Amino acid sequence: MHRLFALIPAAGSGTRMGAAQPKQYLPLAGKPVLHHALRNLCRHTAIDRVIVVLAPGDSLFAQHDWTEFGTRLIPLFCGGQARADSVFNGLLAARDDIAEDDWVLVHDAVRPCLALETLERLIETVRNEPTGGLLALPVVDTLKRGDADGYVLRTEARENLWQAQTPQMFRYRLLLEALRAIEPAAATDEAAAIERLGLKPRLVMGDSRNLKITYPQDLAVAETLLRGMERL
C-alpha cells in the first residue's frame, strides 16, 4: 500500500490579521495556531511523516516546543512567496523520501480544528480514487456578487457549489507536475492546479469546525471549538 505524507505550507505572513507576527504563530489555547494544525496529522498512525514548509530565515519556529511530535515532524525552510510556491518547494525538497505514487495531504497551517474523524473520512474515501480529493462543504448561504463599490450586482445560484477545505490529498508526482505547470498565483489551493490538468478531484464531506483563521475574531471561535472537541 502506498504511503501517506502530510505537508503544511507555513511561510505566509497573514497580513489580514493585522498582527505583529504571522498568524500561524499566534497563541491559541496555550499553543501556537500551527501546533494545533499539526497535532492530528502527527497523531494519525497512517501518516508517515508531516512536513512543515517554513519561510527561509524563519526565527519563530525555534522559539516553540515541538517535541510532542518527535521525529515525525520535519521542518523545511524553503517556503516561497505564494502558497503554491511553498508546496512545490516542499515537494521538491522531499523528493528523495516520497515515491511518485505516495499520497500527499496538504493542510493549511491556520486550520487548527481538524478532527481525527474528518481526516480519517478523507483518507478512506480518497485512497482508491485515481485523481485524489479534498474536504469541502456544500454552500448553504445565499451568495451575492458585488461590484467594486460594495453594492450587489446579482444573486448567484448556489446549487452544486462547495467551499473547499483542507487537507487536500493527491499523488506526489501528479501534484508536483500540476504545480509545475501553472503560475503560483493562479492556484489558491492544490485542487485548482489539478483541475487545470483536466482532472476531477473527489469532493469529501468536510466539517464546519475545520475553520481557517483569517481575521482576529476567528481565534476566539477556534478556541471554543478546540475546547469542545477535547471534551468529546
pLDDT for 183 equals 86
Contacts 24+ apart (CB under 8 A), 61-68: 64/25, 64/31, 64/32, 64/34, 64/35, 66/35, 66/38, 68/39, 68/42
pLDDT tens-digit map of 137-146: 999 999 999 9
Q: Average of pLDDT values for 92-109?
A: 97
- How many whole angstroms from its chain centre is CA 78? 17
**For the chain, what percent of residues have pLDDT higher than 90?**
91
pLDDT for 230 equals 80
pLDDT for 17 equals 60
Assess whether pLDDT exceeds 60 at residue 232.
Answer: no
Q: What topology does CATH give the domain 4-230?
A: Spore Coat Polysaccharide Biosynthesis Protein SpsA; Chain A (3.90.550)
pLDDT for 222 equals 97
Q: How far apart are CA 4 and CA 206, in angstroms?
A: 19
Query: Measured between alpha carbons, how far is residue 8 from residues 5, 75, 147, 159, 162 in Å?
Result: 10, 10, 34, 31, 22
Mean pLDDT of the chain: 94
Confirm if 193 and 178 have CB atoms less than 8 A apart: yes
pLDDT for 154 equals 97
pLDDT for 25 equals 97
Assess whether pLDDT exceeds 70 at residue 11.
Answer: yes
pLDDT for 116 equals 96
pLDDT tens-digit map of 48-63: 999 999 999 999 999 9
Confirm if 178 and 196 have CB atoms less than 8 A apart: yes
Q: Average of pLDDT values for 9-20?
A: 74
Provide the pLDDT confidence category of residue 135 given band limits of 50, 70 and 90: very high
Assess whether pLDDT exceeds 80 at residue 16.
Answer: no
Q: How far apart are CA 144 and CA 139, in angstroms?
A: 12
Assess whether pLDDT exceeds 90 at residue 199.
Answer: yes
- For the chain, domain boundaries: 4-230
Q: How far apart are CA 64 and CA 85, in angstroms?
A: 25
